[in-house]
Structure 1
Amino acid sequence: MSQIDFPEQTPEQAAVFQKVRRMMLIAGLTTAVAIAAVLVAIGYRLFTSEGSSGMKDVTATLPKGARIYATAVAGDQLVLMLDVGGATEIRTFDAKTLKPSGKLKFTTEP
């Protein structure tokens, strides 16, 4: 086999190659920093999320004679529809903490 002899680089070519090496080094470092930032953000979200850390026991007090006739989940809210002595009432609870977040009563006009 014959070897191919490459001519020596001119100073201009050497300068261009040096610039390309420097740009590739900058691009590689930028990519590494970006990937590290994404991994740090994911790790932070995983280790600081409230999440469900176990079973919670919550007792919600309803009016006397109230009857739950429908439940639903809407986003981060647990929705209960109650029948309280013939009147309809909707109560909402935060799905993560199970704390009451709202109450809506319906009555009929006299």
Structure 2
Amino acid sequence: MTEQPAPPEPTPEQAALFARVRRMMLIAGLTTALAVAAVLIAIGYRLFRGSESTVSTDTTAMLPRGARILSTAVAGDRLVVTLDIGGVTEIRTFDARTLKPAGRLRFANEP
């Protein structure tokens, strides 16, 4: 078997180029690691913060005598309740986190 000759030593220009490429690769690797860490931190923050947003409250909302609940829905951060109060339709909205009244919309028929 014949031995292959050893590769020649790099010239000073080549050595400077190799050093520059290594430095650029180190910077790119650190930047990538920092970006991945930032994404993982953001995901973890959202997961742990999302579990704290559940609120358990016991609230009794008083309705007028004879009122009927027709439907309920959630729209964004609001709880929407549609009522029938003596033949008149009314929509009441509540804050979903605190269950405090946020608004009231009444519908009436024109005479």
For normalisation by structure 2, the TM-score amounts to 0.82
SS at match of 1:103: strand
For normalisation by structure 1, the TM-score amounts to 0.82
RMSD of equivalent CA atoms: 2.0
Distance in 2 separating the partners of 1:32 and 1:97:
41
Gaps of 5+ in 1: none
Corresponding residue number in structure 2 for 1:105: 106
Give matches, 1:19-58, under 5 Å: 19-49=20-50, 50-53=52-55, 55-58=56-59
What amino acid sits opposite 1:91 in the alignment? Answer: R
Identity %: 69
Distance in 1 separating the partners of 2:72 and 2:38:
41
SS at match of 2:91: strand
Q: How many residues align?
A: 109
What amino acid sits opposite 2:83 in the alignment? Answer: L
Q: Which runs of 4+ in 1 moved over 6 A?
A: none
Q: How far apart are residue 4 of structure 1 and its match? A: 4.5
Distance in 1 separating the partners of 2:69 and 2:10:
85
Corresponding residue number in structure 2 for 1:78: 79
SS at match of 1:90: strand
SS at match of 1:25: helix
Per-residue Cα deviation, 1:1-20 (whole angstroms, up to 9, x for no partner): 53442111011110110000
Distance in 2 separating the partners of 1:24 and 1:63:
72
In the superposition, relative to structure 1, how do residues 63 and 4 fare at CA in structure 2: closer, same or farther (>3 Å)? farther
SS at match of 2:72: strand
What amino acid sits opposite 1:22 in the alignment? Answer: R
